[in-house]
Structures are given as structure tokens and as C-alpha cells.
Amino acid sequence: MTHQPEQVRILLTGSTGQVGVELLQTLAPLGVVYSPGRARLDMADAASVRAAIREVRPRWIVNPAAYTAVDKAESEPELAYAVNRDAVWAMGEEACRIGAAVIHFSTDYVFDGKGTTPYVETDATGPMSVYGASKLAGEQALAETGAAHFVFRTSWVYGTRGKNFLLTILKLARERELLRVVGDQHGAPTWSRELAEMTAAVLGRCEASASGGPLEELLREGGGGSPVFHAAGAGETTWYGFAVEAVRLMQERNPEVRFAEIESITTAEYPTPARRPGNSRMNCNKLSERLGWRMMDWKDALREVVSEL
């Protein structure tokens, strides 16, 4: 009688969020995915996070969950830090204790957005908002625990489900005659499904190399000295450019529908409680060179997403 190896246990947080929903699908072929709801894993309560990890005893912890209400974070920093830093610290400590590895998602908001070229992983950080500062604190907390981990910084995440810029713009474009969209913030939209597919590919590759053995050294080698990777759509645009292209693609599919005109405005004309980075461009060369994943051009990804709506 042959011994069947135990299936890899994967603990997934935030499984109802944009990226989490996609991860439920992409991680399923790689092992047993546990995705407890808030009653069993509350990211605002580090003790709850620890209890869930001790109960599941996963080999991998995949953490797309985050406090992402950028403007609201300015008035409730304690909650933002509880979710984005303290829960991640607890995750790292528990992972260390059981030899698990953590895949954590972060954001372009860790930078000050003042540059004019795509950020590389080693560029100096300088968040301008509570949200950005809390996400950077989470990256640092995870590193300090000594847990084996990868951090994937991404930007402008959207998809077919959840609350995101694309779905909001397409809804408003049917309801209004004119939309005014910021045109001086530069970056690239990132499809939630591609993030999930990339994550599953990386996890699967690590498992194939580890053959059931320890993950720590493997992840350290994969990171090439730093566990941080940029993972955002290829190419670049502005929020205005994103909106124009999205509406153009939807108009192609629905020629009989009248959509709003879109006008470009400046950040100054659209004040928000939290400051937004002017430059969110991210250089993703390290991701392709070290982990073998090249991100799709944002326009190609957007076309696929619109075709599913």
C-alpha cells in the first residue's frame, strides 16, 4: 500500500474580497484551502488571527485581506493599523512557529508618488497617507518576525466583482452625461484574477521545488535577498485613461447605449481626505526574472474583464 502524501494546507484570508475570491479558485488545485469567515478569523483582532492559524496549522498563509478604505483610514487609523500591521505581525509570528510561509499583498501607496519613473523594489518608501503607512508597517512587521514570506506590491486592483473603479465608472457612465476623472495620477490597473493566477503559479513552483521539505531557504533564494516584488499591470495610463478605455470597450459591445463623455481633471480639482500618489508606476522586472511571471498589459487584461461583464 503506497503512502499518500498529506495535501498542502493553505489558509486564505479575505476570501470575499476582489483578490480573495479569485484566489479561492486558483489555489484549489494546489491543496486544501481553508477560508474562515470573520467569525473565525477577524483581521481586526490579532488574537483571532493567531487562533485560526493554530487551528488550521497551514503550510501556506495567503493574505490578500486588508483595510483598504483609503480616505476613511485618515479618521480611523487604529483600525487600519490593527488590520494592516498587527494582524500581519501575528501571522508572521505564528508562521514562524510552525514553519509556514506567508504570501502577503501590499500597495504602491508605500511610496510618496513623487518620482517620474516606475518604482523598483529597492526605492525609498515614503507613504503620504495613513493607509500607505499602515501597509508599509505591515511589510516591516512581517519581515521582523523572520517568517518565510513573499510580499507582492500591486496597484489599482479591479475585476468583475466587488467594489472597484472599473465597475463604478461603467455604472456612472450609463447614468450621467459627463464624468470628470483625474488625469494626472499615473500607474497601471491590475486585474484581480491575474494576481491570483500569479500567486498560485508562484506557490505551485515553490512546492514543486520543496518536495514537502522546508520552505524558508527556498523563499529566501527566490527573493534574491529581498522578499518584496512588484506585481502590477504592464504599461501605464492614468485614471482618466483607464476610464476612457473601459467605456470605449463597453461602447463597442453595446453600440445602442449612450455613455457619458469623460473629461480629464487634476488631482487638485478632486480633493480627498487622503493624498494620492501622482506616480504609481511599478517596475515588475524582478517578478519575471526571479519568479518567472510577466504581468499582462493593462489594456489586454481590461479587454478580457469587460468581455466577462
* Domain CATH for 84: 3.40.50.720
Which pLDDT tens digit goes with each residue over 249-267? 999 999 999 999 999 999 9
Catalytically active residues are: 131
Q: Is residue 61 situated within a structural domain?
A: yes
Total structural domains within the chain: 1
Pairing assessment for the beta strands 237-238 and 186-187 based on DSSP bridges: antiparallel
pTM of the model: 0.95
Please state whether 144 falls in left (phi above 0), alpha (psi between -120 and 50) or beta. alpha
pLDDT of residue 221: 87
Q: What is the pLDDT of residue 220?
A: 86
121-177 tens-digit pLDDT:
999 999 999 999 999 999 999 999 999 999 999 999 999 998 899 999 999 999 999
The ranges of the chain with pLDDT < 70 are 1-5
Q: Tell me if 269 is assigned to some domain.
A: no
> Which residue segment(s) compose the domain that 40 sits in?
9-163+191-234+282-296
Residue 249 lies in a domain: no
CB 246 within 8 A of CB 302: yes
Please say whether the beta carbons of 100 and 59 come within 8 A: yes
What pLDDT sits at residue 2?
42
Of the candidates 27, 103, 110, 26, the residue with the CA atom closest to the CA atom of residue 65: 103
Confirm whether 80 is domain-assigned. yes
pLDDT for 5 equals 52
Q: Is residue 251 part of a domain?
A: no
Q: Contact at 8 Å (CB) between 238 and 182?
A: yes
The answer as to whether 136 is a domain residue is: yes
How many CA atoms are closer than 13 Å to the CA of 294, on its beta-carbon side? 3
Inside any domain, residue 256: no
Classify residue 184: in a domain, yes or no: no
C-beta neighbour count of 261 within 10 angstroms: 12
pLDDT of amino acid 4: 44
